[in-house]
Chains A and B, each alone.
Chain A
Amino acid sequence: MAYTPQYYPGSTSVGINRRKHMSGNLEKLRDIPEADVVAVMGHRAPGADYSSTHPPLKEMGEPDCPIRQIVAPTAGAAAGDRVRYSQWTDSMYFAPSIPYWRSYWGAINCKGCDPGTLSGRQIIEARERDIEAYTKAQYDSEMTDVALCSMRGCTVHGHSLRLEENGMQFDMLARTEMGSDGNVYAVKDQVGIPLDRKINLGKPMSEAEAKKRTTIFRVDGIPMCGKVGARKYDEAVDALHHMWELRSKWGFRPE
């Protein structure tokens, strides 16, 4: 029997969504052209060459190493690309992905990446052509709602702020805007430099849809303990307590 990892405990919708994010088995909601993703990332002009830090591995003559023989390099590593980043800010108002879940998704599903989680933002670093593919995967999948999540390389403020009146996450640099047709447009790259054209990111999720797809536990949404008033807490809390106990006792050996 093949083993399928469970990744995250619990039977609440948030628990199920967290499992989905970690397993990488995500629904694709939109298809943003690769050139547009590259433009929003802002590291290179779409169609331009990748800058590199070393020659392609094939030309370098690698040392005889069993690990290098076992592990195939990613496309970016094989070509010697520079390491680049994409950084996301997800609103705590029921954004589909919260910072830790982007990191779990990256660490489990993306080869050769370095995810980092901060209080209100999440960054993934990888070789340039790899990070472009990973960013596109994040943009296209249900991890991202174009109104509640946005790519922000700097001035990331927005995760814990109230939403704007039109349902967009607050952005000091106004990198995305709600069009009159109801679509969200990216007008600047992730560091706030204006793009030469508006990029249509599609329609945002409705409030109900965002609540359905979110991975954040909230008392006004799905609380971590499961159903309010239930006699038994959700398994997620049991597992959390278990981990907390083991972490607290770790290394403690009363003789």
Chain B
Amino acid sequence: MVTESDTGSIQVEIIPSRFLLPATAQKLLNEIYGNGGIIRIMIHGPNLPRSVPYGPGRGSPIDENRDLLIEVGGQAFELSVKVGRIRLELESEKYYEGLKAACERALPISFQIRRGKFFHTRQTITDYAKYGKVEDTRILGLIDPKAKQDRLAILSEENVAVHDEER
């Protein structure tokens, strides 16, 4: 029988039953941030292009998708996806119940929350092409392999090592 360590980090996925408006996303993220214990977090959902990507209207601006600024923990950043899923890693098991309660407070709709393994741990070729040799493995699995590196928002006060100048 394998006994899981109760001191290690855990990974959690939160799936609301509907896509969140930016205001609700901000509320939810602030509640999650207030709960504490976050090692890293990923916001996932369909892309919100700033202009029509193809078709006869290609290039027409989509003003509704611009300046979707949200403020989390005192720092503002721009949403580029419709929030449909949040994956995060918590320092330990003890933050899990608080996280559930935070979601219940912030979300006006039903949601699923589950534990599992959602971030990869070993560097892939794509990661190498994007970041070079990754020293800080916390950045692995945070963005879609096809997405550009600017999709990664580093809000931590600590210095996260992302070296790409060598390439």
- In the complex, A153→B52 CA distance in Å? 12
Q: Does B19 lie within 8 Å of A161, measured CB to CB?
A: yes
* B19 adjacent to A163 (CB under 8 Å): yes
Contact pick for B19, options A157, A165, A174, CB 8 Å: A165
Question: Is there contact, CB below 8 Å, between A193 and B60?
Answer: yes
Please report whether the interface of chain B is mostly helix, strand, loop or mixed according to DSSP.
loop
Interface pair A192/B18, CB less than 8 Å apart: no
Verify A155–B53 contact, CB threshold 8 A. Answer: yes
Smallest beta-carbon distance A197→chain B, Å? 15
Let me know if A154 is at the binding interface, CB within 8 A. Answer: yes
- What are 25 contact pairs spanning A and B, CB under 8 A? A42-B56, A153-B56, A154-B55, A154-B56, A154-B57, A155-B52, A155-B53, A161-B19, A161-B46, A162-B16, A162-B18, A162-B19, A164-B21, A164-B82, A172-B46, A172-B62, A172-B65, A173-B62, A177-B64, A191-B55, A192-B52, A192-B55, A192-B62, A193-B60, A194-B60
B24 CB–A CB distance under 8 Å? yes
Closest chain-B Cβ to A114's Cβ sits at a distance in Å of: 20
Query: Do A164 and B19 touch (CB < 8 A)?
Result: yes
Residues of chain B having any CB pair with chain A under 8 Å: 16-21, 24, 46-49, 52-57, 60, 62, 64-65, 82, 84, 108-109
Q: Is the CB of B56 within 8 A of A165?
A: no
Interface residue ranges, A against B (CB under 8 Å) = 42, 153-155, 157, 161-166, 170, 172-174, 177, 188-189, 191-194
Find A157's partner among B46, B52, B62 (CB 8 Å cutoff).
B46
Interface secondary structure of A, over-half rule:
loop
Instruction: Determine the distance from Cα of A153 to Cα of B57 in the docked complex, in whole angstroms.
Output: 10
CA–CA, A174 and B56, complex, Å: 16
Nearest-CB distance from A2 to chain B (Å)? 46
Residues in B neighbouring A172, C-beta threshold 8 A: 46-49, 62, 65
Contacts of A165 in B (CB 8 A): 18-21, 24, 108-109
Asked whether B46 lies within 8 Å of A192 as measured between CB atoms, the reply is: no
